[in-house]
């Protein structure tokens, strides 16, 4: 961009996103009334100049998706004294320690950079701070103790250690708390119960050693709970004195790759009301979408869907999923699974489930992804699964299933690997034909022939009895008039011929 360009000195809003700018524009320096500056989606390299923070009315600054590497000036003062309230420096190449944020900061987004060192404790003194997103960096050390002060806390994919601070006070504002993919240990803090607004809780891929948090069902707004790849142990069935496992609004429960054990009672899913009735969020299309005219934020989920692990930043509000895979669960899959009519994805793979595949799966009409592989399931695959018109992925491999694979279009279109490892299965998409199983054996054929012979004799006797009686009666009458005729003309033969011709 031409450095000789002059903008009106009283300009308040300047939008230069996606203008292929390669150097920080010096012509911005005289714009003392500028309060909203958008330089996102350019190719600007190097350091952010220190004079930028001295613009007295600058409130909202968007520098995301460039190639910035640092800040000019002292880290202790470079940002701290600015008037900026909304700062987005995500998707850059910032390195080194993170500077103290502006005193008046409300929204701070610095995800996907290379910041190192500890998260500055000064964030706890920023009383207006509402959204803190420092995910996808290389922060080390512990989590600051003030996380209950913010509505959104995203520290995902860093190198944080230690326990999650058990300092969520009564009336804490937290709605999203995501600390997945770190090195956290200890237990889930029970003070999370003070976060009555909590909707999204993710602690996946850490080293947390705890039992299943039945107590979280007291959080009436919780929609997403992911505990994947930790060291959780014990049963996921609540004790009798705690009542059913009934999260009022839970739509996504992801507890895979832990050490959960035990069986699921028959009524396990009877109280899962949210996945039984289609819910609508009229305000938002996506979960965790906090977009407005000044800033945007989206919750991010790692989901195993249709056999693939995917990181999704846009999860539709009606999406519902259960993933219990990679544990040591036993017993039968409860028939009450059929009550989850709006469930879209279910993964029970790599456990020790036994018994039959419940026929009630046919009632889960919204199901798109079903993974039951790596268990000890037996019997036939219910033919009723052909009714699941949305079923785009099914995997029942490595079980003990038998019989014909349901021949619905959406099922026979699956790869063979989805059904392999079951010696008794036949039919498409496998190469094993079901003709042999359908054809009767030699022993069965002999039994059928014997039965057919018996039936023919019974039919003959039924027809023979009246015929003989009728023939004898006629013969007796004829013999009265001509006794020799009966013997010569074989009245019995002629009578049977007459019966056959009737």
Residues with Cβ within 8 Å of 129's Cβ and at least 6 positions away in sequence, in order, are 101, 105, 106, 108, 123, 149, 150
Selection from 262, 230, 259 nearest residue 245 by Cα: 262
Phi, psi of 400 (to 5 degrees): -130, 40
What is the per-residue pLDDT for 194? 97
What is the per-residue pLDDT for 494? 32
pTM: 0.83
What is the per-residue pLDDT for 175? 95
For the segment 64-111, what is each residue's pLDDT rounded down to a tens digit?
A: 999 999 999 887 788 888 999 999 999 999 999 999 999 999 999 999
Which stretches in the chain have pLDDT values below 50?
A: 1-2, 282, 437-502
Selection from 220, 216, 251 nearest residue 232 by Cα: 216
What is the per-residue pLDDT for 490? 36
Residue 376, helix vs strand vs coil: coil
Euclidean distance between CA atoms 84 and 54, whole angstroms: 10
Q: Which residue in the block uniquely carries the two structure tokens 């996606």?
A: 18
Selection from 320, 316, 238, 219 nearest residue 277 by Cα: 320
**Cα 305 to chain centroid, rounded:** 6
Residues with Cβ within 8 Å of 279's Cβ and at least 6 positions away in sequence, in order, are 249, 251, 317, 318, 342
What is the per-residue pLDDT for 476? 35
Residues with Cβ within 8 Å of 163's Cβ and at least 6 positions away in sequence, in order, are 142, 184, 185, 186, 187, 189
What is the per-residue pLDDT for 333? 97
For the segment 124-142, what is each residue's pLDDT rounded down to a tens digit?
A: 999 999 999 999 999 999 9
């Amino acid at each position: 961009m031409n450095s000789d360009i002059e903008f009106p000195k009283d300009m308040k809003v300047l939008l230069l996103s996606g203008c292929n700018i390669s150097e920080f524009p010096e012509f911005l320096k005289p714009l003392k009334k500028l309060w909203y500056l958008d330089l996102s989606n350019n190719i600007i390299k190097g350091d952010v100049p220190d004079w930028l923070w001295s613009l007295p009315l600058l409130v909202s600054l968007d520098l995301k998706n460039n190639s910035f590497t640092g800040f000019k000036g002292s880290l202790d003062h470079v940002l701290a004294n600015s008037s900026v309230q909304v700062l987005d420096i995500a998707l850059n190449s910032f390195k080194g320690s993170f500077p103290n944020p502006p005193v008046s900061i409300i929204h701070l987004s610095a995800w996907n950079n290379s910041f190192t060192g500890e998260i500055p404790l000064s964030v706890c003194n920023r009383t207006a701070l509402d959204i803190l997103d420092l995910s996808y960096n290389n922060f080390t050390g512990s989590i600051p103790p003030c996380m209950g002060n913010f509505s959104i806390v995203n520290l995902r994919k860093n190198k944080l250690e230690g326990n999650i601070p058990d300092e969520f006070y009564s009336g804490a504002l937290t709605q999203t708390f995501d600390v997945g993919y770190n090195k956290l240990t200890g237990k889930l803090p029970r003070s999370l119960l003070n976060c009555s607004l909590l909707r999204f809780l993710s602690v996946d891929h850490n080293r947390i050693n705890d039992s299943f948090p039945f107590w979280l069902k007291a959080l009436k707004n919780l929609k997403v709970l992911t505990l994947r790849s930790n060291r959780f142990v014990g049963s996921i069935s609540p004790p009798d004195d705690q009542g059913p496992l009934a999260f009022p609004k839970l739509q996504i429960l992801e507890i895979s790759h832990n050490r959960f054990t035990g069986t699921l009672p028959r009524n396990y899913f009877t109280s899962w009301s949210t996945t039984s009735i289609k819910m609508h969020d009229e305000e938002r299309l996506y979960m965790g979408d906090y977009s407005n005219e000044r800033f945007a934020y989206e919750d991010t989920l790692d989901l195993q869907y249709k056999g693939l692990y995917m990181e999704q930043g846009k999860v539709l509000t009606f999406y519902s999923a259960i993933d219990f895979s990679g544990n040591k669960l036993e017993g039968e899959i409860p028939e009450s699974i059929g009550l989850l009519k709006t469930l879209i994805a279910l993964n029970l793979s790599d456990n020790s489930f036994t018994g039959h595949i419940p026929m009630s799966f046919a009632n889960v009409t919204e199901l798109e992804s079903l993974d039951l592989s790596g268990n000890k399931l037996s019997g036939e695959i219910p033919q009723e699964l052909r009714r699941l018109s949305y079923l785009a992925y099914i995997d029942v491999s490595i079980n003990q299933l038998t019989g014909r694979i349901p021949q619905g279009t959406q099922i026979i279109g699956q790869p063979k690997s989805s059904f392999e490892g079951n010696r008794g299965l036949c039919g498409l998409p496998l190469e094993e034909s079901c003709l042999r199983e359908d054809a009767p054996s030699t022993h069965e054929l002999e039994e059928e022939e014997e039965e057919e012979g018996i039936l023919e004799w019974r039919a003959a006797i039924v027809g023979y009895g009246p015929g003989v009686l009728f023939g004898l009666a006629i013969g007796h009458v004829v013999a009265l008039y001509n006794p020799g005729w009966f013997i010569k003309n074989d009245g019995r033969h002629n009578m049977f011929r007459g019966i056959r011709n009737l």
